[in-house]
Structure 1
Amino acid sequence: MRGRHTATGHQDPPHRTVEEAREMTIRAPYRTIAALGGALLVMLLPGPEAAAAGEEAVREPVQEQVQEPVLQGEEITGGSNPGDAVALSSGTQYLDEFTTGTLHYRIPREVAHSTLHVGITTLGQSGDGDQVRVEMGTWEGDLCASDTISSSASGFLDHLRTTHVAAGPPLDGGADGTCGSSEEIVLTIELNADPEDAVSVGQPLEILVYEEPRPVRLGELPPPDEGFDHDWRDIGRDVSGALEVEPGRSFGMAPELEPGSTYEVTIRPGETQIFRVPVDWGERLQAEAFFPEPDEQRADRLAGMGSVSLAVTNPLRALVDHDSGTLSTSSATQNRVNPGPVRWFNREFSYTMLAGDHYLVVTADEHDASESLSLLYRLTLDTFGEAGDGAPAYPDDYEGAWPTFSGGEVTADGPGTGALTRISALGDSTAVVAVLAVVGLLLIGSGSIVLVRVIRDPRPLPDGAGPVPWQGPAPQGPAPQGPAPQGPAPQGQQVYGAGPYGQPPSSPSRYGQRPDDHGPPAGGAAPEPPPWGPGPERR
């Protein structure tokens, strides 16, 4: 294609025909797709170091990463003072982070005379950790419930730490007091540590909230089962019929297990595995983690191995029972949990007080040979008792029989968890990025194909419409020599806790007695809601 000579002897830039311009426009999207695909391939291909590591991986067995526990919930940020307290709703689980100060929340009471339950879960700490102080009270200054989460948690081998506190009317059916009648309950969480020495700052914590209506006939409920003897009943161990199950890394990811079944599971040192078991009123759960006797080679590798633990929690994640011990190198090892039946009045002395999903937690200590050591065990469980026996009668308009929680979309497994870290907590980050990139490339490609079809098949002009005359300025200078150009004139363009029941209660009044001598200050209400006083310890 040659340019056109003007009268001055200069050559104009070459002009393309309509067909040539259209063809170039058609090719552009395909070139864009090819460029994007090449860039994606370059990003995903390993570099020299990764390629060398891949060659080593061919010679050495590929080792899976130890699955550490994670927390889940709807992201919130607790208030730094009472006036900024964040509202929490029943039936939701939240995810926050520890700070050097006190975190403030408020829980509106939606049902009169209800009990507000709060469950707290944090990640464990190796070595000297921080204690966590949890309190529930009223704006008038009454302390309704409190607990201190220890810096260590033997039941979970320091992998997790949990507690469960509640504020509501007194258990004897007497006058509500402010803890059972206040329109809002205030929750505070803080680290019992010097801010300069606190190691939990930035660590995630999971908060559960559950509002339980007051039963209508308390006098008809069975008394607390303080005399339960915890005698073990044989539940069998179905080795030949053992089922397979994928353990969960968090309470929200825990798979449901069927009572009366045996499951064959593999755990690695340093891992935490969580399973879910529904337990009704009047029922009690038994479970056993059985580690077979190791052969001689495996026994040598188990030398120096720490403990393995089996624990059970209630629906608010409070530790109900646990059994732990060192793996034997010469015989089989078994850990068993056997809490009492679930009864409403058990809240006077234990955490077996709510029907709902209970959780079995299996943990294994870290070991020097953890990179190549895996432990096979069989998890057998069953429930005893008549389901629904001793169930409380709630008001007719109350629909939620068991505690259930939503809001587990965000996952955190350490301090300062960013968006990419949260994505990687759910799976391999490279695979996630690759999938997202491929989806984006497909979207771009689909749009380009539509564009190509539109260009190839332009909408025809209406019948009878002629060429649009040139609307631009008249050309300057002498008229060009030669034949007149053919076709229409060009158109314009548009631009455009510890012990079998967690932390041992210091008194049976944890769930609702109004503390004495903690009324509002004399002279009327203060301009800002005051924090409540220390008050007696209430569990």
Structure 2
Amino acid sequence: MGRRRTARARGAAVGVAVLGMLAGLSAGPAVAAPSGYDYAFAAGARAVDGASDTADAPLLAPGGTYRDALPRGAERYYRLDLDASSNAYVSVTAVPPADSALTVSEGIRVSVQSADGHSCSFENAAFGAAHSPHPVTAWGARTVTPVNRACEGAGAYYVVVERVGTADASRGDWQLELTSATEPALKAAGATKAPDVWDSATPAPAVGEPRRRAGGAGFERATPIGAGVWRTDIAPGQTLYYRVPVGWGQQPHASVELGSSGTDSGYTLAALELGLYNPVRADVQKVSAGYAGSQRNLALAAVAPVDYANRFAGSEQVNGMRFAGGYYLVVHLAARVADEFGAGPYGLTLHVSVEGAERDGPGYAGQSVPRDLFQVTADQRRGAAEGTAAPDDTVMRVLAVGGIGGGTAVVVVLGAWTAVGRRRSAGAV
């Protein structure tokens, strides 16, 4: 009886906590965009202390989202416990203080290593020529391929996160948001070579009357959008996040227009940045352009249609398009624009297209963690049309990773989510 009461109490407590998160999310992404430098960390992300060596590295469970801090000159170690057949992906977003004096080469490096010290992957992400403090994201992976036998077996693997740059790197801790995901093996062996031919011509930008849709302030709060023309405002130093559902066989494209400032005296290097990230937050492509006060257009180059075999290509524009799901468009306006042209905000128009007919996936032998990460659901498509997040997003991921056992709490949370979704739909712009 005591154990039953404890379980019920735990379930109720978790239910209350999640309801609190839902209340925080209930305003939805259809509200006015925040001004200035701001990053919305995932609600319910677990605090974790990265270790200084592998022996004490804390576990990053598949499907989890975590928070940590990265001091200057430090390395942080985390552990992945993997089976022999799943591919595993880790994403790390670093958020420096708003007053950071950043160098061109400053950024983060994320690497994944086997228990024997073999390198499975590594990637750097830098802040770039604009020296603008904003979130940057790098990713790591343990993929099961014949190319890297040292990273095939089951057991412990280690994620290493470190700051990179020059000796005069900025001081102060950088806040981190870390995510972990796994991709199951295929039921039957597929192609081991990327497609040789695909349409690499840059699609014409989407046209039509712009619909207003404010961007989110982080990956977990990314505003759902689909093909079309979208309008919002952006302030210097701000980063906006959007998420676009892209099915197997489809090819996303985006361009962004920054409005004029009213003056054309001055210039900001690499002022406008547009990035495309895949469902595990791995960067597929990033482009930037300077700003001289008059209107500025910036477009992504063509990327390959989504195909499982794209992972065997060397180019990021092909390699990153390895699975279906929610792709992120991330727009940043450099803080220094305010020095040259004023605090704004500035008008921003996003042109989004998704080319090609959707086809069946490759046939996974199991489920991804988080669930349905590599497919587009009906809820996600509806959310893209209405500007509302689908129920299998942040909160449902927290429920899955947290392991709620109280059925009552789950029912209450689902009911609350339904009410929140209705309020969002009614208030969408």
Tell me how far apart the structure 2 counterparts of residues 392 and 155 of structure 1 sit (CA, whole Å).
41
Please list every run of 5 or more consecutive structure 1 residues that lacks an aligned counterpart in the other structure. 1-63, 410-539
Shift in Å, 1:398: 6.1
Please list every run of 5 or more consecutive structure 2 residues that lacks an aligned counterpart in the other structure. 1-33, 375-391, 399-429
Tell me how far apart the structure 1 counterparts of residues 171 and 88 of structure 2 sit (CA, whole Å).
27
For 2:31, the equivalent position in structure 1 comes to none
Residue 71 (structure 2) pairs with residue 104 (structure 1): no
For 2:344, the equivalent position in structure 1 comes to 373
Q: Equivalences for 1:215-226 in 2 at 5 Å?
A: 215-219=186-190, 221=191, 223-225=193-195
Q: Among 304, 312, 315, which residue is 2:276 paired with?
A: 312
**Contact 1:98-1:204 within 8 A present in 2 as well:** yes
Amino acid at match of 1:373: G
Secondary structure at the aligned position of 1:359 is classed as strand
Q: Equivalences for 1:445-464 in 2 at 5 Å?
A: none
Shift in Å, 1:257: 0.3
Residue 206 (structure 2) pairs with residue 233 (structure 1): no
Amino acid at match of 1:387: E
Distance 1:213 1:374, change over 3 A: same
Cα deviations by residue, 1:414-452 (Å, 9 ceiling, x for unpaired): xxxxxxxxxxxxxxxxxxxxxxxxxxxxxxxxxxxxxxx
For 2:116, the equivalent position in structure 1 comes to 140
For 2:181, the equivalent position in structure 1 comes to 210
Tell me how far apart the structure 2 counterparts of residues 288 and 70 of structure 1 sit (CA, whole Å).
24
Tell me how far apart the structure 2 counterparts of residues 163 and 206 of structure 1 sit (CA, whole Å).
11
Tell me how far apart the structure 2 counterparts of residues 92 and 102 of structure 1 sit (CA, whole Å).
21
For 1:116, the equivalent position in structure 2 comes to 88
Q: Equivalences for 1:130-529 in 2 at 5 Å?
A: 130-147=106-123, 149-153=124-128, 159-171=134-146, 177-192=149-164, 199=170, 201-219=172-190, 221=191, 223-225=193-195, 227-228=197-198, 230-239=200-209, 242-259=210-227, 261-291=228-258, 294=260, 298-300=261-263, 303-306=266-269, 307-327=271-291, 329=293, 332-337=295-300, 338-348=302-312, 349=314, 350=316, 351-365=320-334, 366=336, 367-368=338-339, 372-389=343-360, 391-396=361-366, 400-402=371-373, 406=394
**Contact 1:218-1:392 within 8 A present in 2 as well:** no
Shift in Å, 1:352: 1.7
Using the aligned pairs only, state the percent identity.
21
Tell me how far apart the structure 1 counterparts of residues 237 and 265 of structure 2 sit (CA, whole Å).
14
Cα deviations by residue, 1:243-283 (Å, 9 ceiling, x for unpaired): 11121111111110022x21111112222111111112211
Shift in Å, 1:119: 1.2
Amino acid at match of 1:248: G
For 1:433, the equivalent position in structure 2 comes to none
Tell me how far apart the structure 1 counterparts of residues 331 and 93 of structure 2 sit (CA, whole Å).
16
- Normalised by the length of structure 2, the TM-score is 0.68
**Contact 1:92-1:405 within 8 A present in 2 as well:** no
Amino acid at match of 2:79: R
Shift in Å, 1:126: 4.3
Residue 102 (structure 2) pairs with residue 127 (structure 1): yes
Shift in Å, 1:168: 2.7
Q: Among 70, 82, 99, which residue is 2:54 paired with?
A: 82
Amino acid at match of 2:113: G
Distance 1:262 1:102, change over 3 A: same
Secondary structure at the aligned position of 1:133 is classed as strand
Secondary structure at the aligned position of 2:62 is classed as coil
**Contact 2:102-2:169 within 8 A present in 1 as well:** no
Rg comparison, structure with higher value = 1
What's the C-alpha RMSD, in Å, of the aligned pairs?
Answer: 3.2
Distance 1:141 1:290, change over 3 A: closer
Amino acid at match of 1:286: H
Secondary structure at the aligned position of 1:358 is classed as strand
Shift in Å, 1:90: 0.7
Amino acid at match of 2:151: C
**Contact 1:81-1:104 within 8 A present in 2 as well:** yes
Cα deviations by residue, 1:145-194 (Å, 9 ceiling, x for unpaired): 223x244346996633222221132157xxx8452222221222223469
**Contact 1:322-1:336 within 8 A present in 2 as well:** no
Secondary structure at the aligned position of 2:262 is classed as helix
**Contact 2:267-2:291 within 8 A present in 1 as well:** no
Shift in Å, 1:225: 4.0
Shift in Å, 1:224: 1.7
Shift in Å, 1:130: 3.9
**Contact 1:115-1:180 within 8 A present in 2 as well:** no
Q: Which moved more, 1:394-403 or 1:378-387?
A: 394-403
- Normalised by the length of structure 1, the TM-score is 0.55
Distance 1:155 1:92, change over 3 A: farther
For 1:441, the equivalent position in structure 2 comes to none
Secondary structure at the aligned position of 1:300 is classed as coil
